């Protein structure tokens, strides 16, 4: 199989996408539909390029790469040809998919499906150290997390100590904290790959009860490393790394959602510090957290508005349960109420209210020099969070596939196993291909980020992997038939959990239009 012949197809589409972006005016509201489609098209093309490159080095991946690229070519071509004028293209410019049709044939897809049905998804050889890390956390996920996950989900419980304590002892809360502060990250280099490996394996057990535990410490650690003073880093990073201080991120607001630049919660200067007043929402783990990363407006007159935002580390007692109210002895009140959700249970996402809540001056990240820079510190943290969300999606998809593969082989309908039917094989083929590609894409972006690159790619892989997770978990439920809809099957939880992935760490629409789409238009003109 000569997969190199597929590269020109992707290169041609990349050229067309650049031309389409250049044809737009950059009107983020008036051109929302085009920008949204172009962002996903770019993500598919880049994912195809990544898996082709990997398949050249690992021939076993060639069938997966061929199928995925053919499917991506078909998908992108369809989007462009549906309304070429809107993209500034002539219909004659859009290539035919004839050259990739062999890889979309019934025979090719069912054969790929048989491979996945028989062999599952094979692990990459990541070297002795990372293989050991993967195996360690996979064992923990299987032995500790999975037996507790269903009860946590059904009863909407907090993450129990049976999960938290071992993870603290294993040092996972310090994955993004340098060794000099007691973390696991090398002092002079990044290790985003290691973070992704751990996140994926924990997410296989439970997204809400394990896979997302290290997201908030990572965001806070990155923000502190980016803008914190030496004293702030020395105070907070060791506590984060040890798990002594659990973290939450209090950025999103009811009236702004993913529009972080429009944050309105006020921070008013007062003797010795600041008074926080206003509301936040979707503050995950706020009750159990001992420290909140709070984005607040310190300057109402700043132009542009995002330059009036500052970032604070706010201490609070830890609370069990679904609501709390803290009367600060230094002044003011903070309260929180858990938002009932259809999935992603264990950590709980809170509505938060701050009523003249006093915060000491030394809790402003960066001190006086950090005033007005909160938006940038937050984005630095969120970049890692988006990559980590892609890794979470991979873990959730992997759990779904493993369950679906086993069930479809064991379950007989109309005289034979579910996995023996061509349509089931087609589903397993696409599930297996998407998971393989998403993992390759995620690790590729992790490598870029470790070199100080990959900001755009982190957004693209988040878009792509989260969309893929929704499809994979849906098909997983379908392959289980009626039992897939039953709460006693873990796959129903996977389906419910997957839905949140496209919302947090930047809602899909905002990310596609205002981050990726805007950047693509700007790049096309350079």
Which residues are identified as catalytic?
505
Specify the pLDDT at position 290: 97
Calpha distance 480→400 (Å, rounded): 10
Specify the pLDDT at position 260: 66
Q: Summarize the confidence of residues 59-63 as an average pLDDT.
A: 94
Q: Summarize the confidence of residues 365-376 as an average pLDDT.
A: 94
Specify the pLDDT at position 254: 86
Q: Residue ranges per domain, the chain? A: 3-104, 247-376
- 427 vs 191: which has the higher pLDDT: 427
Tokens representing 430 are: 């696409």
pLDDT tens for 83-117 read: 999 999 999 999 999 989 999 999 999 999 999 99
Q: Please enumerate, as own/partner, the contacts of 446-453 that have beta carbons within 8 Å and a separation of 24 or more.
A: 446/192, 446/193, 446/195, 446/196, 446/387, 447/192, 447/193, 449/190, 449/192, 449/383, 449/384, 449/387, 450/189, 450/190, 450/191, 450/192, 450/193
Helix H or strand E segment including 107: helix 106-119
DSSP E strand boundaries for 220-348: 247-250, 266-270, 273-284, 291-297, 309-315, 323-327, 333-338
Closest CA to 321 of 342, 333, 338: 338
Taking the mean position of all CA atoms in its chain, how far away is CA 196? 10
- pLDDT interval class at 132 (50, 70, 90): very high
- pLDDT interval class at 12 (50, 70, 90): very high
- pLDDT interval class at 3 (50, 70, 90): confident
Q: Summarize the confidence of residues 238-257 as an average pLDDT.
A: 90
Mean pLDDT of the chain: 94
- pLDDT interval class at 124 (50, 70, 90): confident
End-to-end CA distance of the chain: 37
Calpha distance 149→147 (Å, rounded): 6
Q: Give CATH superfamily name and number for 247-376.
A: Butyryl-CoA Dehydrogenase, subunit A, domain 2 (2.40.110.10)
Share of the chain above pLDDT 90, in %: 85
- The model carries a pTM of 0.94
pLDDT tens for 184-227 read: 999 888 889 999 999 999 999 999 999 999 999 999 999 999 99
Q: At what angle are helices 7-23 and 32-57 packed, to 10 degrees?
A: 160
The DSSP call for residue 182 is T
The DSSP call for residue 364 is B
Specify the pLDDT at position 257: 58
Calpha distance 364→348 (Å, rounded): 26
pLDDT tens for 159-192 read: 999 999 999 999 999 999 999 999 999 988 888 9
């Amino acid at each position: 199989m000569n997969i190199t012949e597929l590269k020109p197809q992707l290169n041609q589409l990349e050229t067309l996408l650049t031309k389409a972006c250049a044809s737009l005016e950059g009107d983020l509201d008036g051109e929302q539909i085009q920008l949204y489609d172009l962002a996903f098209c770019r993500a598919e093309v880049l994912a195809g390029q990544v898996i082709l490159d990997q398949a050249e080095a690992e021939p076993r991946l060639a069938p997966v790469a061929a199928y995925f690229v053919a499917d991506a070519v078909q998908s992108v071509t369809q989007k462009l040809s549906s309304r070429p004028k809107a993209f500034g293209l002539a219909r004659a410019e859009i290539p035919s998919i004839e050259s990739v049709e062999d890889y979309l044939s019934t025979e090719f897809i069912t054969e790929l499906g048989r491979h996945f049905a028989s062999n599952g998804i094979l692990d990459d050889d990541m070297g002795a150290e990372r293989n050991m890390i993967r195996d360690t956390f996979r064992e923990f996920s299987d032995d500790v997390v999975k037996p507790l996950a269903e009860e946590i989900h059904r009863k909407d419980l907090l993450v129990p100590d049976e999960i938290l304590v071992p993870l603290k002892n294993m040092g996972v809360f310090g994955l993004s904290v340098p060794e000099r502060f007691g973390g696991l990250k090398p002092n002079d280099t990044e290790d985003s790959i290691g973070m992704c490996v751990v996140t994926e394996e924990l997410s296989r057990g439970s997204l809400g009860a394990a896979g997302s535990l290290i997201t908030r410490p990572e965001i806070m650690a990155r923000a502190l490393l980016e803008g914190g003073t030496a004293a702030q880093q020395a105070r907070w990073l060791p506590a984060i790394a040890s798990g002594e201080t659990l973290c939450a991120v209090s950025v999103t607001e009811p009236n702004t959602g993913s529009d972080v630049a429009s944050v309105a919660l006020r921070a008013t200067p007062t003797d010795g510090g600041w008074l926080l007043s206003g509301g936040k929402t979707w503050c995950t783990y706020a009750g159990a957290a001992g420290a909140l990363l709070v984005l607040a407006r310190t300057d109402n007159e700043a132009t542009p508005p995002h330059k009036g935002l500052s970032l604070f580390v706010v201490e609070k007692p830890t609370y069990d349960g679904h609501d709390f109210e803290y009367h600060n002895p230094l002044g003011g009140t903070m309260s929180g109420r858990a938002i009932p959700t259809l999935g992603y249970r264990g950590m709980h996402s809170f509505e938060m209210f701050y009523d003249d809540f006093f915060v000491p001056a030394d809790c402003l990240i960066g001190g006086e020099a950090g005033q007005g820079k909160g938006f940038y510190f937050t984005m630095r943290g969120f970049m890692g969070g988006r990559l980590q969300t892609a890794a979470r999606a991979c873990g959730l998809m992997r759990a779904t596939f493993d369950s679906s593969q086993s069930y479809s082989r064991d379950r007989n309908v109309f005289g034979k196993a579910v996995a023996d039917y061509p349509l089931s094989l087609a589903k397993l083929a696409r599930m297996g291909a998407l998971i393989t590609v998403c993992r390759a894409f995620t690790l590729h972006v992790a490598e870029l980020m470790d070199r100080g690159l990959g900001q755009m790619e982190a957004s693209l892989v988040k878009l792509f992997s989260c969309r893929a997770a929704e499809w994979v978990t849906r098909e997983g439920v379908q392959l289980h038939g009626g039992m897939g809809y039953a709460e006693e099957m873990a796959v129903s939880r996977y389906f419910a959990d997957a839905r949140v992935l496209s919302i947090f760490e930047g809602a899909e629409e905002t990310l596609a239009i205002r981050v990726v789409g805007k950047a693509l238009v700007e790049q096309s003109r350079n």
